[in-house]
């Protein structure tokens, strides 16, 4: 059939030029991600740290042992990474007037092999989310949208590889990826517990016992009992996780399944667990947590630490939340939820009330009551 001529609204020249630049930015921003991955693979943040926190391009070239022919190219990579805030650059302190690269808070969280209080290198998070497996899953989005299925809707990752991300069988898919994903996840989850304790530690005041549900290797529980020595802390996780958890004289480790039973305690914590699960599964998990706690009058509560999607946090935090939601959509059956969505899940699970206690960056601390 012959194409019919259609009229479209013609942009002004200024709009057209802006649209072209925006198109380049949006369609090429994967190169920022890959540039970040490259910086992590080359260990550029750690190298700048070892050079005293500041490095010229020749210093970097030599410390990284890169062939000199690549120097102008490294300069171009650094220019993009400076523009996106991964590094800072200035020429103050340089006698020759050459640019000096410095670490920013973002590149500091990428330092690897550096032991410091509260430091959890995010190197593996970057390597996981920019890995070929993750990026290939996202390339399948359009086909995934067209495919009609009966719920539960599997993710593009699951459709592409036949196993859900984080499933035990995912280890068989690619041992190296599984290792990177697990290390990335641990680093991601452990970053910030100290901030939570400083910013809203009072949510644990008066709590006598707490179950950290899906509490992993107990890193959060150890920080909690250190800060609140009176707290009787239980960590519930899958047997394969509990088997590897470092033994602790105060923490009670329970190998189990949060869909079946949650050990009773005054408070139950779900930190960065629910966003992996579908709404139906979240309601099942929350219903188990509800059974485990006493009434609000007796101090019973479920403490949830998760993203609450909210544009009022500003464009950068909001975009970060939406990208984390897309990450969940591509790779899991879960997602990031706004307050209305959270409220629906709490009520469906049988809770009567909730309170967003504190917003911490892109995440929130929520208390939910029986």
Ligand X SMILES: C[S@@+](CC[C@H](N)C(=O)[O-])C[C@H]1O[C@@H](n2cnc3c(N)ncnc32)[C@H](O)[C@@H]1O
Closest C-alpha among 370, 366, 362 to residue 341? 366
Q: How far is the CB of 269 from ligand X (least distance, A)?
A: 8
Residue with the shortest CB distance to ligand X: 214
214 contacts ligand X (rule: CB under 6 A): yes
Give the per-residue SS3 of 267-295: EEEEECCHHHCCHHHHHHHHHHHHHHCCC
Closest contact distance (angstroms) between CB of 311 and ligand X is: 25
Which candidate in 112, 133, 275, 341 is catalytic?
275
Report the distance separating Cα 54 and Cα 101, nearest Å: 6
Q: What's the alpha-carbon Rg for the chain, to the nearest Å? A: 24
Quick check: helix, strand or coil at residue 33?
A: helix
The one-character DSSP state at 313 is: G
> d(Cα 221, Cα 274) in Å, to the nearest integer?
18
Looking at the Cβ atoms of 215 and 335, the one nearer to ligand X is 215
Binding piece for ligand X, criterion CB under 6 A, among 125-133, 182-190, 311-319, 342-350: 182-190
Q: Does 185 bind ligand X (CB under 6 A)?
A: yes
d(CA 364, CA 370): 20
CB nearer to ligand X: pick between 85 and 246: 246
Helix spans in 130-174 (H): 132-139, 141-146, 156-161, 170-173
- Whole-angstrom CA distances from 240 to 145, 163, 191, 222 are 34, 18, 23, 19
Q: Does 220 bind ligand X (CB under 6 A)?
A: yes
Contact stretch for ligand X (CB under 6 A) within 61-69, 140-148, 198-206, 213-221:
213-221
Between 30 and 259, CB nearer to ligand X: 259
Does 189 interact with ligand X (rule: CB under 6 A)?
A: yes
What is the per-residue binding string for ligand X in 240-279, x denoting contact by CB under 6 A? -x---------------xxx-----------xxx------
Using CB under 6 A, pick the residue from 215, 300, 334, 335 that binds ligand X: 215
Residue 133: active-site member = no
Binding site residues, ligand X, CB under 6 A: 185, 189-190, 214-216, 219-220, 236-238, 241, 257-259, 271-273
Query: Which residues are designated catalytic?
Result: 275
């Amino acid at each position: 059939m012959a194409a019919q001529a259609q009229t479209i609204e013609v942009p002004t020249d200024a709009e057209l030029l802006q649209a072209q630049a925006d198109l380049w930015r949006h369609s090429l921003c994967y190169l920022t991600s890959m540039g970040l991955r490259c910086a992590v693979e080359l260990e550029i943040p750690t190298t700048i740290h070892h050079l005293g926190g500041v490095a010229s391009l020749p210093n970097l070239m030599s410390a990284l042992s890169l062939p000199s022919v690549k120097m102008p190219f490294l300069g171009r990579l650094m220019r993009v990474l400076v523009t996106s805030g991964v590094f800072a650059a200035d020429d103050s302190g340089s006698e020759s007037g050459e640019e000096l690269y410095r670490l920013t808070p973002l590149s500091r969280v990428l330092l690897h092999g550096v032991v410091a209080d509260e430091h959890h290198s995010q190197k593996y998070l970057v390597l996981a989310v920019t890995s070929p497996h993750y990026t290939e899953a996202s390339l399948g989005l359009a086909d995934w949208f067209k495919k009609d299925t009966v719920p539960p809707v599997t993710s593009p990752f699951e459709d592409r590889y036949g196993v859900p991300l984080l499933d035990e069988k995912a280890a068989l898919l690619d041992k190296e990826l599984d290792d990177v994903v697990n290390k990335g996840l641990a680093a991601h989850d452990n970053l910030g517990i100290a901030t939570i304790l400083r910013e809203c530690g009072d949510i644990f005041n008066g709590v006598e016992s707490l179950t950290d549900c899906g509490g992993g290797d107990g890193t959060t529980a150890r920080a909690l009992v250190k800060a609140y020595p009176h707290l009787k802390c239980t960590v519930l996780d899958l047997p394969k996780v509990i088997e590897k958890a470092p033994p602790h004289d105060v923490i009670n480790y329970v190998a189990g399944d949060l869909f079946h039973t949650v050990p009773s305690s005054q408070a139950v914590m779900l930190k960065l667990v629910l966003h992996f699960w579908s709404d139906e599964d979240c309601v099942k998990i929350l219903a188990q947590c509800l059974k485990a706690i006493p009434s609000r009058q007796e101090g019973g509560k479920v403490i949830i630490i998760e993203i609450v999607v909210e544009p009022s946090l500003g464009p950068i935090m909001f975009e970060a939340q939406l990208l984390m939601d897309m990450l969940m959509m591509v790779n899991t059956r879960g997602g990031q939820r706004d307050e209305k969505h959270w409220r629906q899940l709490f009520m469906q699970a049988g809770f009567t009330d909730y309170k967003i206690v504190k917003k911490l960056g892109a995440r929130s601390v929520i208390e939910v009551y029986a």
